Amino acid sequence: MARKPLFPNVIRLARLRKLENALQSPAASRQHALRPSALQDLSLDSSRSDCFGLRKLQAVLVISGPRTLHLGDQSKALSNLPSYNNPPPTRNMSAAKTVLITGSNRGIGLAFAKHYVTNGWKVIAAARDLQSANELKALKVARTVQLDTSDEASITAAAEQLEGEPIDLVINNAGIGIGGDMDKTSKAEMMQQFEINTVGPFLVTRALLPNLKLAADQNGSATVGQVTSRMGCVSDNGSGGMYGYRASKCALNMVNASLAVDLKHDKIIALALHPGYVSTRMTGNSGAVLPEESVAGMTKIIAAATAADSGKLFHFQGAELPWHHIQHDDMAAKTVLITGSTRGIGLEFAKHYTNAGWKVIGVTRGGSNCDRLKALSPFKIVTLDATDESTIVKAAKELEGIPVDLLVNNAGIYIGGDLKSTTKDELMRQFEVNTVGPFLVTRALLPNLKLAAETAGSAGARVVTVSSLMGSIANNTGGNYSYNASKAAVNMVNSSLAIDLKKDNIAAIVVHPGYVVTDLTGGLGDVHTDESVAGMTAVIEKVTMTDTGKFFHFQGHEIAW
């Protein structure tokens, strides 16, 4: 059989060189060179003699950067090339997704940029001031773009620079926060926050829609993430103030909800993300959450998001947050108050109910050492010392008019002691904290519990007191006089509450948490806090009025007390 002439391949290589030169020329020449007929003229296939030509074309396209090409059957040839023993080292740029981040020169935006650079994404860093963005420059992002979200001309110019570039993810992070109560908030401050926090993200998203659509066409979906705040939740506003900031973030949530509707057919997901109270310049570095921790959570949410999540608001720790008004009988709108919620079992209760979408009112005894509680972004934090009746009354006054569906009396102390060593002070101290405290707190919050019970229907409201198996007379093993007596006494207090509150549709139970690894047990327990709380909350969830007055083990069975 006669050997095929090599001239066709020589011709093809000449055309390939012409194509390579054209790709490095002005846009008009590139467009002409990449017309379908020009590509078809190459007549490439993946057989032996054309492999070099195909490899050459593939290299040209990689060098020229990501572009939208209509190669027809040629794309199949490119994807089915045979392997070689010593192929040139190339990075698969088509697999690298692209993210654009506004406000990326510091704080949360910079942490986003670091995360995505580390994870192999092509990062487009957008910032108002690029001159002083030294830390951003050190990241070696794919490109930087000057973009001032308060200047529509700047947004338009940035979009023109990025024309034709698919963007898989846009993170609208740039924002400002200006404090102010009702008397001090000025019109100028409110308008500035609307301009940057609400209008800016809308204009940026709209300007980059062609880029998002390109990515969605190529990869099946694209995403827009709005860095908002829990302070923009209408259903979660329990402290007032911050008029401009709250209103601008609430408005951003509504913009995002509308984007979710309008972009659904384009397979673009729109998410609103609460970053937590983050330690940044905007918070005066007083936040309880580090930017890296916040971003780690938000990026997990973004990665896992589907079309069903579009329009929703998520806490950086994963829970969906109710941002609009929700009827009180909706589980997401229920409220829990937890005493002793800065550590141990109480903190774990706060985590559980935050993740379950409840409004959590955290309680701190002295206002300090509550960074971990603050990191959960609770609905409210009140100062309350169960041994100081004046602080209980003050906290109740502060919470006036707020329905409380669940009160968890968790605060307590433990002082050991046998028959000889137990002192009067130890006995009185533990009665004060473990017995009298829960009684006074429950009585002070009865208006809140009744308010919840009136609107919750048959579900009613609940009072749960964390007791101990050591307070069970039937299971007494001796010793620990003060602790055992104080827990037996609180069981009796609960029994009386169950009778007196039954007519108000308020159930009262006591629960044994197990021997839990906490500061109170010196870390010697055999049950971890998350395991204990998972069990107790499962018990609480199932409680009905027929259970009121009962004593439950965290594993679910009733205890004889």
Region 285-294: what's the mean pLDDT?
83
Do 124 and 167 contact (CB within 8 A), yes or no?
yes
- Min mean pLDDT across 271-275, 352-356, 487-491, 522-526 is at 522-526
> Is 137 or 16 the better-scoring residue by pLDDT?
137
Q: Mean pLDDT: which of 13-22, 358-367, 434-443 is highest?
A: 434-443
CA-based nearest residue to 209, from 196, 195, 223: 223
Give the pLDDT confidence score for residue 187 in this predicted structure: 84
User: Residue holding tokens 């499962």?
Assistant: 538
Q: Of 47-61, 169-183, 230-244, 283-297, which range is least confident?
A: 47-61
Distance between CA atoms of 396 and 75, rounded to whole angstroms? Answer: 69
Q: For residue 475, what are the CA distances in angstroms to 419, 468, 490?
A: 18, 11, 16
377 — pLDDT class (breaks 50, 70, 90): confident
Please give the structure tokens belonging to residue 276.
């937590």
- Note whether 245 and 177 are within 8 A (CB): yes
Which residue spans within 175-304 are E strands per DSSP? 222-227, 268-274
pLDDT of residue 120: 95
Handedness of CA 550, 551, 557, 561 (dihedral sign): negative
Q: Could you count the other beta carbons within 10 Å of the beta carbon of residue 91? A: 9
CATH fold match for the domains 95-321 and 331-553: yes
Tokens of 243: 């008029």
Its pTM stands at 0.55
Look at residue 162 in the predicted model and tell me its pLDDT. Answer: 98
Closest to 252 measured CA to CA, from 300, 148, 323, 302: 323
Question: Residue 156 has which token pair?
Answer: 């338009």
The single-letter DSSP state of residue 195 is I
Q: Which two tokens stand for residue 227?
A: 């860095």
Is the confidence at residue 54, as pLDDT, over 60? no
At 217-249, the pLDDT tens digits run 999 999 999 999 988 877 666 667 778 888 888
What confidence tier does 430 reach under pLDDT thresholds 50, 70, 90? confident
pLDDT for the residue 481: 80
pLDDT score, position 323:
64
Q: Which of 260, 350, 341, 337 is nearest to 306 (CA)?
A: 260
- The reported pLDDT for the residue numbered 371 is 85
- The fold for domain 331-553 equals Rossmann fold (3.40.50)
CATH superfamily label, 95-321: NAD(P)-binding Rossmann-like Domain (3.40.50.720)
Q: What percent of the chain has pLDDT over 90?
A: 48
Q: pLDDT tens digits for 320-363?
A: 887 654 443 444 469 999 999 998 999 999 999 998 889 999 99
Name the helix (H) or strand (E) containing 363: strand 359-364
Confidence of residue 367 (pLDDT cuts 50, 70, 90): low
Question: How far from the centroid of its chain's Cα atoms is residue 533's Cα?
Answer: 22
pLDDT band, very low/low/confident/very high, at 410 (cuts 50, 70, 90): very high
Break the chain into its structural domains and give their ranges. 95-321, 331-553
Rounded-to-integer distance, Cα 557 and Cα 472, Å: 14
Q: Tokens at residue 458, please?
A: 């048959």
State phi, psi for 414 to the nearest 5 degrees: -135, 125
Residue at 244: amino acid letter: G
The whole-number average pLDDT for the span 290-308 is 95
Local structure of 8: helix, strand or coil = helix
pLDDT at 8 over 70: no
Q: Tens of pLDDT along 386-397?
A: 889 999 999 999
